[in-house]
Amino acid sequence: MKIKNVLWAFCFCGMSVCSLEAQQVWTPDNGDGTFTNPLMWGDWPDPDVIRVGDEFYMVSTSMHYVPGCPIIKSKDLVNWEMAGYAIDRYDEDPKYDMQGGNLYLNGSWANSLRYHNGKFYVAFCTPYGWGRETGHFSVCEAEKPEGPWKRTIFPEYMYDPGLFFDDDGKVYVVHGQGTLYVTELNEDARSVKGDKVKIWSGRFKNAHELGGGFGMEGSHVYKINGKYYITCPAGGTEGWQICLRSDNIYGPYEHKLIMNDDSSYPKNGLHQGGMVQLKNGDWWFIIMQDRGAIGRVPCLVPVKWVDGWPMLGADGKDVVTYPKPAVGKASKIKSPATTDEFNTKKLGLQWQWNHNPDNAKWSLTERPGYMRLKASPANNLKNARNTLTQRVQGPTSEGLVEMELTGMKDGNVAGFGVFQFPYAYVAVQQEGGARKVVMCNDGKIVETAVENFTQDKLWMKARVTDKDFIASFYYSLDGVNFFPIGNVLKMDLGLYWTANRFALFNFTTRDEGDGGFVDFNWFRFHGK
């Protein structure tokens, strides 16, 4: 197997020549004992966090992407790396295999992470459609975050679940939107023990605490000094954080606004997340912030207890840069992986498929050192199986790929782009034995850059920025000189609440027969 250099040089036509190191990503660690939010400038929505010994773990919502329920780990709450996923694939509906439709907006929502009696637990809900009134609820369990994980799908539906193991052996889930409920589970957390009990349906006196009808959701539950605390966001994208407090899990509950600040990224406030206690007794809160098409990013703020309430940041406000948590040890600067040379037999943890993959139609071993994608029938990228994705990142990021085309067949559309709705990409299309290099934006071909493409290699690049949320696209015939192609993609968060992603793909517009294949030599990431 050949080993590829993770340093590369390239230049753009009319732009400066530069040498970049693969996987330069945003890091919050300032190297001087402080950090600056966000923790990751990418889509890690609905975070929940725990500590097990000296290690911290965080879980995030992943919707329809597979594997699902990503779990990352850290020694200091600032520097993070991937640990694993709680879901390998979704088998409850053939639409996850894009058979008879698709299941965008489904999968895992509002993950809750807990550790109890030597096991990790991840709970999440899967709403059906836009209404969110129906769906199902799942609990996954494993002895280590890398897995293997066992999943239990409940017949009951619990929206935005907060899993909680009480110190008397009882197990509860707090769930709901606007109106909150508590449902008791059996001790093994694999079935429901009792009926749901309503614990909160109050309307706040101060209108800004309600958010124009976006009531509390995303519950996480704690028992601290004998009292039950439930932290919840309210107000939607521009929201804030509320805390409920009671002497009994079933209430009655009093409430307090514990964070209300949008100053770090107006007008989107910090809202939804979970808190964790250090060994020295300090508390910290990981809380997300919507940053448009780049995603819902996690931020870390200290907790100060005031009159028995966990106040976040500095008196409920965010100051962006803070001293690092006092974990007692120095930590190396780390970030979740991005660049991939495809030199291993397993797919890197940075990658997720759009819906369940067809494992017979991709390989890292048929040609060692390459990601081989075999085409399946689709009429466009939205419906294409085996689209391989990873997060774009802010404030700017670039993805670069090298693709070999010797296995292409008529009907193939293979390339690289930025995926959400709308999406855009650079691709090679083959028909009648002839190939052409095209740029597609929102389902329409806007430029054919090379009408008769005879090479067997193409280099493609996408650059994204949070300034006006645009993506620009480039192609190269030699891997050195890059030329702009098409127009810019005006990125959106889309209808499905997942941020934009870099995407490698190969599909065929033919209904039958062998769809052909392409080989991706590497994906290289650069960000600021």
Task: Indicate the residue type of 256.
Answer: K
Yes or no: say if 187 and 168 are a contact pair by the CB < 8 Å rule. Answer: no
| pLDDT value at 19 more than 70 | no
- If DSSP states are collapsed to H, E and C, what string results for 299-362? EEEEEEEECCEEEECECCECCCEEECCCCCCCCCCCCCCCCECCCCCCCCCCCEEECCCCHHHE
Confidence class of residue 514 from pLDDT cuts 50, 70 and 90?
Answer: confident
Query: What CA–CA distance (Å, rounded) separates 142 from 131?
Result: 32
- What pLDDT is attached to residue 13? 36
Q: What is the pLDDT of residues 164-188, one digit of tens each?
A: 999 999 999 999 998 999 999 999 9
Query: What CA–CA distance (Å, rounded) separates 414 from 508?
Result: 8
Yes or no: say if 271 and 241 are a contact pair by the CB < 8 Å rule. Answer: yes
Q: What is the pLDDT of residues 33-87, one digit of tens each?
A: 999 999 999 999 999 999 999 999 999 999 999 999 999 999 999 999 999 999 9
Q: Which tokens belong to 358? A: 């067809």
What residues does each domain of the chain span? 43-323, 352-527
What are the catalytic residues?
A: 46, 217
Task: Enumerate residues 6+ apart whose C-beta is below 8 A from 279.
Answer: 51, 54, 327, 328
- What pLDDT is attached to residue 518? 98
Options 1.10.1130.10, 3.40.50.12140, 1.10.3470.10, 2.60.120.200; CATH for 352-527 is 2.60.120.200
Q: Which tokens belong to 1? A: 């197997």
Question: Which of these ranges, 199-208, 286-295, 393-402, 441-450, has the smallest mean pLDDT?
Answer: 199-208
Query: What CA–CA distance (Å, rounded) separates 206 from 121?
Result: 36
| pLDDT value at 18 more than 80 | no
Confidence class of residue 24 from pLDDT cuts 50, 70 and 90?
Answer: confident
- What pLDDT is attached to residue 133? 82
- What pLDDT is attached to residue 497? 86
Yes or no: say if 105 and 497 are a contact pair by the CB < 8 Å rule. Answer: yes
Confidence class of residue 109 from pLDDT cuts 50, 70 and 90?
Answer: very high
| Cα 171 from chain centroid (whole Å) | 28
Q: What is the pLDDT of residues 472-506, one digit of tens each?
A: 999 999 999 999 999 999 999 878 889 999 999 99
- Kindly report the pTM of this predicted structure: 0.94
| pLDDT value at 449 more than 80 | yes
Q: Determine the 3-state secondary structure of 99 from DSSP.
A: coil
- What pLDDT is attached to residue 214? 60
- What pLDDT is attached to residue 3? 38
Q: Which tokens belong to 354? A: 């759009």
Sheet containing strand 283-290, strands side by side: 271-277, 283-290, 296-306, 309-312
Yes or no: say if 336 and 80 are a contact pair by the CB < 8 Å rule. Answer: yes
The mean predicted confidence, pLDDT, of the chain is: 92
- The alpha carbon torsion through 51, 45, 499, 291 (nearest 10 deg) reads -110
Mean pLDDT of 182-209: 84
| pLDDT value at 121 more than 60 | yes
- What pLDDT is attached to residue 390? 98
The total of other beta-carbon atoms located within 10 Å of residue 114's CB is 23
Mean pLDDT of 93-117: 96
| pLDDT value at 5 more than 50 | no
Confidence class of residue 207 from pLDDT cuts 50, 70 and 90?
Answer: very low
| pLDDT value at 6 more than 60 | no
DSSP H or E segment with residue 69: strand 68-74
Q: What is the pLDDT of residues 293-321, one digit of tens each?
A: 999 999 999 999 999 999 999 988 899 99
Unique residue bearing structure tokens 């976006």: 214
Topology (CATH level 3) of domain 43-323 = Tachylectin-2; Chain A (2.115.10)
Mean pLDDT of 330-343: 96
